[in-house]
Amino acid sequence: MIIDTEEMEIKAVLEAVRKGHHDKDAAAIGAQYTPNAVIFDLAPPLAHMADVSGLAAWLDTWEGPVGLEERDLTIEVSGGLAFCHGLSKVSATTKIDGQRAHWWQRKTVCLRRTEGAWKIVHEHASVPFYMDGSYRAAIDLEP
């Protein structure tokens, strides 16, 4: 059995992000990104740079751990660049009213090997929305 070292290293980066969410450790999550990483995620604005303080504020809106579950993850590596895509389930409990929230989102993560380590340089998360005129996020979808 051939073990792909690069794929294992990339999965370790993604695992560090998952664990950082679980532990609500914004600094640990931020350490996986380059300083100029561009993020397209669910919250406004349309694009932003990696922001540990903003991430910490978002993590603080949840009671207890924030769960991330990956599904159908594909990793492609070419030289010092890697492209990953799949689905990610986010689950947590709101601090405001104790409601359990969860949704599946589409996720794309691009990494670059810099100084011998893989770092995230771009991330895109999206949730489909209903095209029926309501513009409601389709957070009830399951893979």
The 3-state secondary structure of 26-75 reads HHHHHCCEEEEEEEECCCCCCCEECCHHHHHHHHCCEEEEEEEEEEEEEE
C-beta of residue 112 within 8 angstroms of C-beta of residue 76: no
Q: How far apart are CA 122 and CA 120, in angstroms?
A: 6
Residue 11 lies in a domain: yes
Q: What is the pLDDT of residue 1?
A: 45
Quick one: which H or E segment has residue 88? strand 81-94
Residue 49 lies in a domain: yes
Q: Token match 């560090």: residue?
A: 16
Residue 132 lies in a domain: no
Phi, psi of 112, rounded to the nearest 5 degrees: -130, 140
The pTM of the full predicted model, rounded to 2 decimals, is 0.93
CATH (domain of 52): 3.10.450.50
pLDDT, one tens digit for every residue, the chain (143 residues): 455 899 999 999 999 999 999 999 999 999 999 999 999 999 889 999 989 999 999 999 999 999 999 999 999 999 999 999 999 999 999 999 999 999 999 999 999 999 999 999 999 999 999 999 999 999 999 99
Residue 10 lies in a domain: yes
Structural domains of the chain, count: 1
Structure tokens at 106: 């589409």
Supply the range of the domain harboring residue 42.
5-126
Residue 111 lies in a domain: yes
Q: How far apart are CA 76 and CA 110, in angstroms?
A: 10
Residue 135 lies in a domain: no
Residue 17 lies in a domain: yes
Q: Work out the end-to-end distance of the chain between its first and last CA atoms, rounded to an integer number of angstroms.
A: 30
Q: What is the pLDDT of residue 4?
A: 86
